[in-house]
């Protein structure tokens, strides 16, 4: 199974979903913000670059700093991730009530 056939496989990368959710809450953040608040890994830059290449993030360079925003596709993915979170929370609540 390849990412060309199934682009959503990029979300299986460690921290990909966390990075997207963070940027969804902090539009215009920097790679340093991601490193400090989400990933804490030397691979953070590579992970961000893959999300940019996949069309989920925009990277706009301002002087020495690059700022990150969700693309329209990225916003749609984050919205669906949040919907899945809510669905799973409701499922847990219903299971606890049984």
Percent of the residues in the chain that have a pLDDT greater than 70, as a whole number: 89
CA atoms within 13 A of residue 35's CA, in its CB half-sphere: 9
Could you tell me the two tokens for 17? 């979903």
Specify the 3-state DSSP secondary structure of 18.
Answer: helix
Q: Return the pLDDT at 98.
A: 54
Q: For the chain, how many structural domains are there in total?
A: 1
In a domain, 83, yes or no: yes
pLDDT digits (tens, 9 = 90+) for 49-76: 999 999 999 999 877 788 999 999 999 9
pLDDT for 78 beyond 80:
yes
Residue 68 domain flag? yes
Give the mean pLDDT of the chain: 88
Q: Which residue has the higher pLDDT, 93 or 28?
A: 28
Say which CATH number the domain at 32 has. Answer: 1.10.10.10
**1 compared with 26, residue with greater pLDDT:** 26
More confidently predicted of 2 and 38: 38
Q: Would 24 be classed as within a structural domain?
A: yes
């Amino acid at each position: 199974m390849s990412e060309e056939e199934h682009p959503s496989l990029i979300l299986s990368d460690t921290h990909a979903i966390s990075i997207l959710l963070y940027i969804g809450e902090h539009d215009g953040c920097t790679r340093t913000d991601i490193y400090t608040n989400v990933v804490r890994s030397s691979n953070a830059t590579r992970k961000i670059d893959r999300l940019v290449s996949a069309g989920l993030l925009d990277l706009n360079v301002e002087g020495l700093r690059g700022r990150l925003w969700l693309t329209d596709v990225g916003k749609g993915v984050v919205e669906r991730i949040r919907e899945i979170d809510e669905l799973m929370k409701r499922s847990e609540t219903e299971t606890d009530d049984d």
